[in-house]
Amino acid sequence: MSEKSDDAPQTNKKLGTEVFLALAAVGWADGHLDESEADAIVRTALEEGLEIEEISRIEDAVKEPLELGSLDLSQMAKEDRLFVYAVASWITAVDGTIDEAETAALGQLGDALRIPKKPREIAGEIAKAIGEIDGGQEAVFFNLPKLRRTIKKRLGQAQAMRAKQDSAAESGD
């Protein structure tokens, strides 16, 4: 059994406080964070099983704006980065409107997470589809575990397809 390097990003480990602070920063992009957006962020952190001190920091971030650039998101695994981006894209739409500041903040988050344009679009589409299937854009009904499972599945499918294409290219097919 081989061990992963300690400095390699881990997939499926608990999402850290920085993730939820980033979601709050995106939510604040339009100058206010709706109660439904704030509730969604805190609820997601609670579902993730964060400690009470971490939840307290997140609750502070949903009460007062936070700068996205002050957060370190560099150690997240690809699956977790896509999940965070999908949740953020959903949070920007929870209040029914997405303004230029929210779009810009979502772009900054995508850049900070090192997610290319096409995967950003796909993650946003997955979040929107799950939100519509599970009762619309109501924060209390959004199925976050389903979102995470769907992203994991789609990422695995994309990686398998890429490996198959690489194998075919190497064999000259």
Q: Quick check: 10 pLDDT over 50? A: no
Computed over every residue of the chain, the mean pLDDT equals: 80
At which residue do the structure tokens 């994309």 appear? 158
Q: Which long-range contacts (CB under 8 A, 24 or more apart) does 132-137 make?
A: 137/90, 137/93, 137/94, 137/96
C-alpha–C-alpha distance, residues 140 and 29, integer Å = 21
Contacts of residue 164, defined as CB under 8 A and 6 or more positions apart, other chains included, come to none
Is residue 53 scored above 90 in pLDDT?
A: yes
Write out pLDDT tens, residues 115-173.
999 999 999 999 888 876 544 444 445 677 788 889 989 988 988 998 888 888 888 76
Cα dihedral sign, 104-105-108-110: negative
Q: Report whether pLDDT(8) > 60.
A: no
Q: What pTM was estimated for this model as a whole?
A: 0.72
17-171 CATH, one of 3.40.50.2300, 1.10.3680.10, 1.20.1250.20, 3.30.1490.20: 1.10.3680.10
